[in-house]
């Protein structure tokens, strides 16, 4: 998945109208909660060739760190 496509997907998952930036801190989004966490795992399960561990998603601090999980 390209960075552009990933950012579009994150904008949908986070349910925000403004553009999402790779350097954005996940804590800066009020909508980064348990629902968006599950939505991220569900959306990426079909996009990534490997299983993304929930523990790794919880440890991510930025959008770029989430993207890196999809590239491993």
Q: What is the pLDDT of residues 36-47, one digit of tens each?
A: 999 999 999 877
9-60 residue pLDDT tens: 999 999 999 999 999 999 999 999 999 999 999 999 877 677 899 999 999 9
Whole-prediction pTM value? 0.90
The CATH number corresponding to 3-71 among 1.10.1200.10, 3.10.620.30, 1.10.1740.10, 3.40.50.970 equals 1.10.1200.10
Contacts of 49 (CB under 8 A, 6+ apart): none
pLDDT value of position 47: 75
pLDDT value of position 50: 77
Torsion, CA 49, CA 55, CA 61, CA 63, rounded to 10 = 20
């Amino acid at each position: 998945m390209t960075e552009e496509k990933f950012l579009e997907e994150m904008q949908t998952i986070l349910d925000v109208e403004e553009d999402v930036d790779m350097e954005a801190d996940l804590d800066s989004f009020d909508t980064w909660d348990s629902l968006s966490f599950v939505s991220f795992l569900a959306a990426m399960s079909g996009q990534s060739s490997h299983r993304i561990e929930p523990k790794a998603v919880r440890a991510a601090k930025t959008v770029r760190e989430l993207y890196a999980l999809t590239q491993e």
